[in-house]
């Protein structure tokens, strides 16, 4: 932390700040200029609040130099993390795998048709909701274990890894028996008890950015999982809430290169929830891959007009196949390949 004292700060004020920094566990290096004193505080601790120092008398400004997350930060693993799934699927290496499927698993017929279509088009992960976090308690809440069984059956039949959302700690054992990747939804990004439990699981976690979460908060949530010993975290940019109402959310494409700078964890993009509109999904998917996304998450439904959730943002199978063809052109242009 760098603490710049105000011009003319009293020696007692400077000393009080130094004492405070020492109490916080820092080693303090003082540099006294002609008009101003600057304190450099170094130490291993990450859990401090710079405002504690900012509000002290005589302090002009304070800057944090070290990130508040350690395990999720780039310096922990500068070479990058590669999450390996079954069937040779990797996230964070040269492949850009696509996870696709319906928002909710609605029936055997619906899931099988969706799975076959996305697999044929080149998706390597099958994604579908079994437990759904719906804004209204009266909306379809998901088929639960029946959906998990169908996802597993379809995934095994088609050679795909399976992703589904876990909403509560109590669902972890059941879900772990069926899925290859546990998704944490935007609404649960700061469900710290859930994150802590997922730290004990030996299965990759796909952690979605909360609708109003900063990237620092996203990385601190990843830190919760990693602090428990589970280092297989895949981040997901799924759009944030802004003042724009045309789209359901605003997909923050810039999050992709920023996360690559700040963290070693792979980041995938979800243009389906990021836009909420079927006609905007493909352009944003193309942009995300061009910006360096390590994977995509796309909602596809065999009959989106009758979907029980997120129909408006679900692609028709033909649209998805066309998008995958485009991916096969875009990914190599940025040194990647669609898995």
For ligand PEP (CB under 6 A), the number of binding residues is 10
Q: How many angstroms separate the CA atoms of 94 and 206, rounded?
A: 19
The yes or no reply on residue 248 touching ligand PEP (CB under 6 A) is: no
Largest Cα–Cα distance of the chain, in whole Å?
77
Q: How many angstroms separate the CA atoms of 195 and 218, rounded?
A: 12
The yes or no reply on residue 103 touching ligand PEP (CB under 6 A) is: yes
Q: Of 104, 84, 270, 226, which is closest to residue 161 (Cα–Cα)?
A: 84
On the 0-12 / 13-18 / 19+ scale of CB atoms within 10 A, 177 is exposed
Nearer to ligand PEP, 187 or 277 (CB): 187
- HEC string of 251-273 equals CCCCHHHHHHHHECCCEEECHHH
* Span near ligand PEP by CB under 6 A; candidates 151-159, 181-189, 277-285, 324-332: 181-189
* Span near ligand PEP by CB under 6 A; candidates 170-178, 185-193, 224-232, 257-265: 185-193
Quick check: helix, strand or coil at residue 268? strand
Q: Compute the 3-state secondary structure of the chain and give helix, strand, coil in percent, each to the nearest 5.
A: 40, 20, 40
Helix (H) or strand (E) holding 98: strand 98-101
Least distance in angstroms from the C-beta of 299 to Mn ion? 6
Among 58, 129, 142, 271, binds ligand PEP (CB under 6 A): 129
* Span near ligand PEP by CB under 6 A; candidates 87-95, 167-175, 183-191, 259-267: 183-191
Nearer to ligand PEP, 62 or 308 (CB): 308
Binding site for Mn ion (CB under 5 A): 103, 310
The yes or no reply on residue 238 touching ligand PEP (CB under 6 A) is: yes
The yes or no reply on residue 102 touching ligand PEP (CB under 6 A) is: no
The yes or no reply on residue 133 touching ligand PEP (CB under 6 A) is: yes
On the 0-12 / 13-18 / 19+ scale of CB atoms within 10 A, 103 is buried
Count of beta carbons in the 10 Å neighbourhood of residue 77 = 15
Nearer to ligand PEP, 58 or 304 (CB): 304
* Span near ligand PEP by CB under 6 A; candidates 180-188, 216-224, 225-233, 279-287: 180-188
Question: Which residues would be at the binding site for ligand PEP (CB under 6 A)?
Answer: 103, 129, 133, 165, 185-187, 208, 238, 273
């Amino acid at each position: 932390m760098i603490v710049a004292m105000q011009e003319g700060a009293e020696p007692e004020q400077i000393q009080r700040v130094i004492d405070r920094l020492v109490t916080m566990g820092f080693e303090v290096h003082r540099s006294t200029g002609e008009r101003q004193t600057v304190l450099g505080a170094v130490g291993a601790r990450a859990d401090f609040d710079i405002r504690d120092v900012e509000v002290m008398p005589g302090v002009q400004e304070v800057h944090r130099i070290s990130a508040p997350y350690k395990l999720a930060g780039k310096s922990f693993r500068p070479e990058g993390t590669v999450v390996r799934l079954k069937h040779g699927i990797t996230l964070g290496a040269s492949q850009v795998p696509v996870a696709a499927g319906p928002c909710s698993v609605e029936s055997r017929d619906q899931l099988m048709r969706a799975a076959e279509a996305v697999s044929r088009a080149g998706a390597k992960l099958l994604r579908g909701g079994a437990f759904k976090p719906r804004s209204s308690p009266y909306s379809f809440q998901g088929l639960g274990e029946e959906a998990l069984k169908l996802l597993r059956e379809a995934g095994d039949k088609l050679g795909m890894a399976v992703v589904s959302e876990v909403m509560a700690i109590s669902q972890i054992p059941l879900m772990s028996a069926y899925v290859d990747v546990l998704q944490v939804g935007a609404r649960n990004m700061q469900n710290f008890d859930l994150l802590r439990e997922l730290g004990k699981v030996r299965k990759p976690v796909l952690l979605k950015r909360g609708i109003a979460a900063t990237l620092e908060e996203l990385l601190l949530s990843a830190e919760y999982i990693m602090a428990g010993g589970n280092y297989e975290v895949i981040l997901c940019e799924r759009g944030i809430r802004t003042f724009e109402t045309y789209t359901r959310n605003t997909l923050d494409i810039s999050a992709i290169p920023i996360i690559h700078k700040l963290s070693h964890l792979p980041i995938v993009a979800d243009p389906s929830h990021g836009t909420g509109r079927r006609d905007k999904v493909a352009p944003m998917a193309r942009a995300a891959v061009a910006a360096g996304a390590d994977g995509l998450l796309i909602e596809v439904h065999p009959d989106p007009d009758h979907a029980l959730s997120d129909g408006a943002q679900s692609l028709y199978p033909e649209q998805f196949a066309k998008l995958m063809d485009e991916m096969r052109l875009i990914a190599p242009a940025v040194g990647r390949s669609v898995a």
